[in-house]
Chain A
């Protein structure tokens, strides 16, 4: 087992780091003092040297993003923390906010100093009530202790919309509008919140910043792998013996995470699929899990690092049902702005329902592919693509199972799939005993 370097959650097992005094007792907020003694230019150079890749999913280097901010702009500069964690399978940001809120706050203060900002917004998903309370209390405690200087940190709650995790939709929502993505360019560093230069990063990205300042970028870059230094928190869910969050170096082999840390497949069953970055990415088959968990290695085998969230699926699961439940989610969460996504996700659900019900033909499998192709690259944000990527991978890697549905006129699992009968919110509108039978 690789050596485990804890950065994000360091100290949280031993102490109650939600308390300011406890966080300070392990050296907390010394990073911000060190950072404030540096010029913004020097701090940004240090962050760039650390190659801290965005932990929200896109993997764009945080320091590079900071370097794009026009600090000479007469407008205010904003730092926005994306805490709208909503990707199915992801629950890492929640743990950071609940257990090490001061590390996130310290990261905010350092990043704000780098981009010469005095206004920080943390956009936290509305459902995270307990985490909001902990974070808001920590913000208040740190503010009262005089740590903020002239910086203001506002914790802003969302109200239930997956799309608001998309950075431009988040900015729209924060401005009080419907959370619908903006066309890019302009990108947020040029024109973001209130049309001002804006740095926007995920919780885990910002909460890693204090460690970079404390240990120095050079040391930080020695952890993880050269193309993706550092650690992250991997969320493991689904059919494993020990689901949960595991903070590990980037580059840890997927097999080690699943079989050693997470205890392997629950109940001694067989692994069937891993959806490695949250439900929106192409799935991997069991022969692909020796891949190192970093951005480039996962990209090289046709999937994404995403939100470092592995959904592990055992052999009881019907892949058509998996595709159907996944697509119902993206249909429900499509903001409706771009027609290919709004209409295409609904169409995909209809095709998948007909496959599962046994009324589809071989041509419908081609149609499913073609609807997907008509979404990819034709929408403003990644949500539409997130609906297509996993389904396309299920259809191609487990094609026999899709074909069997068509040829047998129904689900080959005969009612024994682990997802049998699962209900989605979008089903509730026509929820009746008769309607339920017509579902998967």
Chain B
């Protein structure tokens, strides 16, 4: 059996027998391996959890952090909810768009970076918050954008 299968069995053991509670951690493990959740990956997770692929798909479509399409090797999520928006999030988003030559919601042509506008990340007092590969950068300003992109190592 695959490494993913074994990891999913370990996660399952944390929850009551017969429950489906391991589905989110299992999908997360699969996404950490592949970067996104393809149909084949969903089937693999479903097998490991002894549920149907359709069930896994229904879960994956519900949660924003689970990707059903390929994303770039790096992800940049700019919070544009009210507190960040009031403090200039749109300028930060536009600075990323202009540096990367793509619009929010797109991935750079070589598949390197996906840029997204996202809902509140819970860093409202430290606007603008940007999650770079899921790690928060706070107090981001348009001037900070080149440094953040430089830190991704191309």
> Is there an interface contact between B119 and A333, defined as CB atoms closer than 8 Å?
yes
**Shortest CB–CB separation between residue A78 and chain B, in angstroms?**
10
Q: Which one, A90, A158, A422, contacts B63 given CB within 8 A?
A: A158
Residue pair A313, B86 in contact (C-beta under 8 Å): yes
Taken together as a complex, chains A and B put the C-alpha atoms of A128 and B65 apart, in Å, by 12
Q: How far is the CB of B101 from chain A (nearest CB, A)?
A: 13
A86 at the interface (CB under 8 A from B): yes
Does B82 belong to the interface (CB within 8 Å)?
yes
B124 touches A176 (CB 8 A): no
Which residues of B are found within 8 Å of A126, using beta-carbon distances? 28, 63, 65
When C-beta atoms are compared, the residue in chain A nearest to B133 turns out to be A129
Whether B83 pairs with A88 at a CB distance below 8 angstroms is yes
Once the chains bind, are B125 and A326 in contact (CB under 8 Å)?
A: no
Q: Give bound CA distance, A245 to B123, whole Å.
A: 10
Contacts of A345 in B (CB 8 A): none
Of the stretches A13-21, A29-37, A45-53, A413-421, the one at the interface is A413-421
Q: How large is the interface on B (under 10, 10 to 19, 20 to 34, 35 or more residues)?
A: 35 or more
With contacts A127-B122, A428-B116 taken as known, whether A194 is within 8 angstroms of B16 at the C-beta atoms is: yes
- A89, A94, A160: the one contacting B82 at CB < 8 Å is A89
Residue A428 contacts which of B16, B104, B126, B131 (CB distance < 8 angstroms)?
B104
1/0 per residue B104-119: CB within 8 Å of A? 1110000000001111
Q: Which residues of B lie under 8 Å from residue A174 when comparing CB positions? A: 21
B145 at the interface (CB under 8 A from A): no
**Contact assessment for A422 and B66 in the assembled complex, using a CB-CB cutoff below 8 Å:** no
B85 contacts which of A85, A129, A325 (Cβ < 8 Å)? A325
Q: Which of B21, B90, B118, B127 contacts A175 (CB 8 A)?
A: B21
Q: How large is the interface on A (under 10, 10 to 19, 20 to 34, 35 or more residues)?
A: 35 or more
Query: Which B residue's beta carbon lies closest to that of A243?
Result: B125
The answer to whether the Cβ of A173 comes within 8 Å of any Cβ in the partner chain is yes
**Nearest CB of chain B from residue A160's CB, rounded to whole Å:** 3
Which residues of A (405-440) have their CB < 8 Å from a CB of B? Answer: 418-425, 427-429, 431-432, 436
Tell me if A156 is interfacial: C-beta within 8 Å of chain B: yes
**B23-A176 in contact (CB<8A):** yes
Give the docked Cα–Cα distance between A427 and B19 (Å). 36
Given A322-B82, A325-B81, A418-B86: A160 and B65 within 8 A (CB)?
yes
Contact partner, A424, options B25, B62, B117, B127, Cβ 8 Å: B117
- The answer to whether A179 and B62 have CB atoms under 8 Å apart is yes
Q: Is A252 an interface residue (CB 8 A)?
A: no
Most interface-central of B105, B119, B121, B126 (chain A CB within 10 A):
B119
Q: Inside 8 A of B93's CB, which chain A residues have their CB?
A: 423
Give Cα distance in the complex from A3 to B25, angstroms: 44
Query: Given A178-B58, A423-B80, A423-B90, are A237 and B125 also a contact pair (CB < 8 Å)?
Result: yes
Does B5 belong to the interface (CB within 8 Å)? Answer: no
Provide the residues of chain A in CB contact with B59, threshold 8 Å: 176-178
CB pair A332–B21 under 8 Å, yes or no, is no
**B residues in contact with A87, CB < 8 Å:** 120
Given that A176-B24, A244-B125 are contacting pairs, would A127 and B19 also be in contact in the complex, using a CB cutoff of 8 Å? no
Which of B25, B58, B124 contacts A235 (CB under 8 A)?
B124
Known: A126-B63, A279-B82. A156 touches B21 (CB 8 A): yes
Q: List 7 A-B contacts (CB under 8 A).
A: A94-B123, A129-B135, A159-B28, A160-B63, A243-B87, A243-B125, A423-B104
- Residue numbers of B with Cβ under 8 A of A are 14-16, 19-25, 27-28, 58-59, 62-66, 80-83, 85-87, 89-90, 93, 103-106, 116-127, 131, 134-136
The list of the 8 closest CB pairs from A to B, nearest first, reads: A176-B20, A428-B105, A160-B64, A237-B124, A160-B65, A159-B63, A237-B83, A243-B125
Chain A interfacial positions (CB closer than 8 Å to B)? 85-91, 94, 125-130, 154, 156-162, 173-179, 194, 235-239, 243-245, 275, 279, 309, 311, 313-314, 317, 322, 325-326, 329, 332-333, 335, 418-425, 427-429, 431-432, 436
